[in-house]
Structure 1
Amino acid sequence: MKVLITDDEIQIRRGLRMKVDWEEEGFIVVEEASNGKEALELLQNINVDVVLTDIRMPIMDGIALAKHCQQEFPGIKVIVLSGYSDFEYVRSSMKEGVKDYLLKPVAPDELLEVLRKIRKEVEEDKRKQIESARIHVIAETHLQEVQDQFLLHLAKDEWLEFSYVLERLWQLQLEDLAQENIKVKFLSVEIRECEDNLTNLKKLCLPFQMICKEIAKELGGTYSFYDPSYANMVHFLKIIDLEQTNSTAILIKKVQQSVKTSLNLETVIGIGNTVTGLSEMKNGYISSLLSWSQSQLGSHSQVMNETVTRDVIYEFEPDFERQLTNAIEGMNIEAFKNTVNTVLKKTENQSVLSFCFVANRVFFLLGSLAKKYNMETKDIQKSMWNCQQSIGELNSQSKSIDHLIQLAQVIVEKISVARFSNGQLMDNIRQYLDEHYASEISLTSLSELFYINSSYLSDTFKNHIGKNYSEYLVELRVEKAKFFLEDERLKIIDVANLVGFSNSGYFSTVFKKHVGKTPVEFRNFLDINGKVIR
């Protein structure tokens, strides 16, 4: 630990150096100063842990130096040396930043005792800082993961209530997207290997995602997220400012240069259409994927900007989506086949983009249903891969339809098994709750979502989980709240909102009932143990 000795008498400074074996005690005297002003100038350029200073000095005394250290360098521990006549003055100044004091003449054993005490405090402070930084990183990472997940839900139109979406955007610090009639554009960015760089792309996906996060944060009004359905890709959601006509070009240039410089990889970028409002975001997202899908194979950078307008895009009507969902949930594969064939074959005489648009919407729908029932088996993954590849090829409409039907068949079979296996069905429902715990999901709406009787769901849930639905949801929210309470920057009402409580008073009552402490008491308990992020 580094020490700065401050005294206007050089003999005293030399004497202090000789009173203890500094290095053996884990200290090193890095500098000396003859007054407080000189000491402060030194502190601007060197890192110091401990300042040992006389109280009586010209220009600036020790107490004034301690006050400045408290304001400008709060991590430094100040030890004051004083004569007996200054004892009461020094003791009263402890609140001004003085950590400890020693009476002159300084006895070696007393100096040693104070230094050891200070060393322990500094080491403990550093340990707490490291732990606080670790918790902060975890909290930031968790927030980013939740933001990414919600942006993906937004892009795929996987949300229930419009008012809930607006509220959730504010809770997740995405309030820029809650503007009325907001105009946005999606960009889908894929990384590809260079001829002389055959590194496994899988290993570079995480660094690629981190680069995109930094670019989005730097540019402002821009967000990036990852869709597991598309390997080696990151998607940008950019708010369109009509006054900045070149903002998209700046983003593209930044991405291409950063990825090339940092990872030595090429990028293929699909630019989507500008869309207005939250309800149009799915169309904007798919249009960026359609642009990307027009790229040529090969390891060279490309920017694809296919204009997709209403006169070439088949209108994907909500009734069509409901029919497909009902067919899958009702385990009626024939109804699914008939609906898909009827709608997709209408696009045969239209543009390839029109067919690809509708086929992708069907694919997204099936992917959402597979996720809803926690289907991560090899046959599901293989079917989804085949669908994605065939639609992306854009050269075989009948092949794409066949793959969609095959995927639907596998999903229907899995749903059938889940319906007749209470354990698997309850696991699917529990996973859904774990992801959507902050939403307003009643037992009735949950039963409708999974196409089962609410009374049957209530009884089966309790038998399988060991507690009723409402108890499980409340306990889940309380556990999530404990994590958010570690971040002192979040107000109690913010934590309540993040876990699904609209009223902080009711949240506090429920929290105390389950934890034995109010949220404030629980946070104070964490603070005492050094687990609160400041």
Structure 2
Amino acid sequence: MMKVIITDDEIQVRKGLRMKVDWEEEGFEIVAEASNGKEALELLENGVVDLIITDMRMPIMDGVELAKHCHEQFPNVKVIVLSGYSDFDFVRGSMKEGVRDYLLKPVAPDELEEALRRIRKEIEEEKQNQLESDRMRQLVHSHLQEVQDQYFLHLVKEEWLQLAMVKERLHQLQLEELAHEFVTVQFVTVEIRENDDKSKRLKEFGLPFQLLCKEIAKEHAGAYSFYDPNYTNMVQFLQLTDSKTPNRTSDLVKNVQENVKKYLHLETVIGIGNVVRGLKEFRNGYISSLLAWSQSQLGSESQVIDETGTREEVFDFSPDFERRLTNAIENVDFEVFKENLKKVLGRGENQSVMSFSMAANRVLFLLGSLAKKYDIETKDIQSTIWNCQQRIWELTSQHKVMEYLMQLAQLIVEKVRAARFSNHKLIDSIKHYLDEHYANEISLTSLSKLFHINSAYLSETFKNKVGQNFSDYLVSIRMEKAKQFLQDKHLKIIDVANLVGFSSSGYFSTVFKKHFGQTPVEFRKSIDT
């Protein structure tokens, strides 16, 4: 119901207006009455009101003066002025001062109903627009967090070769504290659970759970939360650790359990991974938290599984070894991949369960990264990735894990073969890669090496298929992303420049103006007009 205040110095007029229409049927509720404009303004300060119906002539403060104050102090409140015929021209002239409509006295019921319907439609449209605007602001405000989340996943699951570029990107994303050479962190995996008869409720709580975890992370120094779409009902935390504050992770875990129980009325199963040092160890730290979680018992009871005391030596998954596996897939040589897979997973009794699980997850992440790189994440591949993950967690048979990984690799090899021998599919894969990694320092040379293709051939083929050369396409992606970021007034121009891959705000502004015909500052001003 929309709230109404009736303002008139004559009580009989106020009573008459109450009786002229069925206010509830029209979608309105009369919440108060006032005998002059000053009283009405005081009432406005005490609660939310949508509409004021006021007489033109009143002592202390008349209707037009009231409308002016409403326009200045309560711009969302609509005002209908009642006036005699002699005041008609004056009231009509005051429409620009906040009066939305006027009615001649004595007011006919049908005219009042028609005016109320016009006002209601206008208010409903404005509220809907405001909701949409608020939603868009929320989306814009989450852009930085969204990019940060994507980069966390990139760090723990995808291939990255140049540490210096990773550190620079962390600075650009306002994650400087993670860029230190000897940074120590601990990953925590949190899953929400519910009784079997209410398990369908979990789908409804996915987004509230993620948002709650974001708020919890803000309360803990050096804590970040991110979401991996491959693991439903889960959120991952990254917690910086140091010797001065040894209880950071346990405090975070306790807070998560208490707040999820309090606000969502759900149980939590939490896996705490090993403390790892340096960016290159982030992946192992992330995997160890998943493996800790995988040791949980079935059921809906809250559990915490801490594997920090079970650290073992694992296979040295060096960048060189990772490159050999990657090259085998991209060169569509399944036999070479299988040979290398046996080296890391086929060591039999000489390998512990933890070491095998860690290495198997590293291979699984590598294969998932390649599927994403070539934009070949089909339902078959996604299903096989999930089945691989399940076999690794269950670990009832090392042979079964290797079998599933080889099956996944075979699927990806065939998809990569199709992409590499089709210019159309290859260029689509490259476009997809650029859409995902537009902010990185990407050159034609690095791109050609990444996709194992001659740079001159790539340049010519890309332009023929896309209609733009590689550099122009990359700039256009960055500029469109920049427009999205610029809508968030909390971000400075240099922040936006960094987010889309520019280290200099001046150069970013030059490119932006060349692309759109206005500077970033001018674009921001145009949004408000």
TM-score range for the pair, normalised by the shorter chain length: 0.7 to 0.9
Identity of aligned residues (%): 61
Query: Is 1:268 matched up with 2:269?
Result: yes
- Deviations for 1:106-126, whole angstroms, at most 9, x for unmatched residues? 8979x9899999878756643
* Per-residue deviation, 1:454: 0.7
- Deviations for 1:38-94, whole angstroms, at most 9, x for unmatched residues? 545423433223454889866x99999889867764533578999xxxxxxx9xx99
CA distance in 1, matches of 2:347, 2:257: 38
With over 3 angstroms needed to count, the CA separation of the structure-2 counterparts of 1:7 and 1:412, relative to structure 1, is same
Over aligned residues, Cα RMSD in angstroms? 4.6
Query: Is 1:414 matched up with 2:412?
Result: no
Contact 1:78 1:99 in 2 (8 A): yes
Larger displacement relative to structure 2 (61-70 or 234-243): 61-70
Q: Which blocks of at least 5 consecutive residues in structure 2 are unaligned? A: 84-90
Query: Is 1:302 matched up with 2:316?
Result: no
CA distance in 1, matches of 2:280, 2:247: 25
CA distance in 1, matches of 2:241, 2:35: 59
With over 3 angstroms needed to count, the CA separation of the structure-2 counterparts of 1:518 and 1:383, relative to structure 1, is same
Corresponding residue for residue 99 of structure 1: 98
Contact 1:213 1:223 in 2 (8 A): no
Q: Superposition pairs for residues 58-457 of structure 1, below 5 Å?
A: 73-76=74-77, 99-100=98-99, 125-140=126-141, 144-156=145-157, 158-159=159-160, 161-162=162-163, 164-166=165-167, 168-169=169-170, 172=173, 177=178, 181-192=182-193, 194=195, 196-197=196-197, 199-200=199-200, 204-205=202-203, 207-220=205-218, 221=220, 222-240=223-241, 246-256=247-257, 266-298=267-299, 300-307=301-308, 311-345=312-346, 348-457=349-458
CA distance in 1, matches of 2:225, 2:389: 22
* Per-residue deviation, 1:286: 1.2
Aligned residue identity for 2:284: N
With over 3 angstroms needed to count, the CA separation of the structure-2 counterparts of 1:5 and 1:428, relative to structure 1, is same
With over 3 angstroms needed to count, the CA separation of the structure-2 counterparts of 1:117 and 1:332, relative to structure 1, is closer
CA distance in 2, matches of 1:339, 1:24: 75
Corresponding residue for residue 464 of structure 1: 465
* Per-residue deviation, 1:23: 8.9
Contact 1:211 1:258 in 2 (8 A): no
Corresponding residue for residue 87 of structure 1: none
* Per-residue deviation, 1:444: 0.9
- Deviations for 1:147-197, whole angstroms, at most 9, x for unmatched residues? 332221122354455455455446556566556754432111234553x52
CA distance in 2, matches of 1:181, 1:80: 70
Contact 2:329 2:337 in 1 (8 A): yes
CA distance in 2, matches of 1:465, 1:396: 47
CA distance in 2, matches of 1:26, 1:205: 34
CA distance in 1, matches of 2:22, 2:260: 52
Number of residue pairs matched by the alignment = 521
Larger displacement relative to structure 2 (125-134 or 512-521): 512-521
Contact 1:347 1:354 in 2 (8 A): no
* Per-residue deviation, 1:305: 0.9
Larger displacement relative to structure 2 (18-27 or 461-470): 18-27
CA distance in 1, matches of 2:101, 2:328: 83
With over 3 angstroms needed to count, the CA separation of the structure-2 counterparts of 1:192 and 1:119, relative to structure 1, is closer
CA distance in 1, matches of 2:234, 2:23: 56
Contact 1:188 1:234 in 2 (8 A): yes
Give the secondary-structure state (helix, strand or coil) at the position aligned to 1:273.
strand
CA distance in 2, matches of 1:283, 1:384: 18
Give the secondary-structure state (helix, strand or coil) at the position aligned to 2:274.
coil
Contact 1:363 1:387 in 2 (8 A): yes
Q: Superposition pairs for residues 486-501 of structure 1, below 5 Å?
A: 486-501=487-502
Q: Which blocks of at least 5 consecutive residues in structure 1 are unaligned? A: 83-89, 529-534
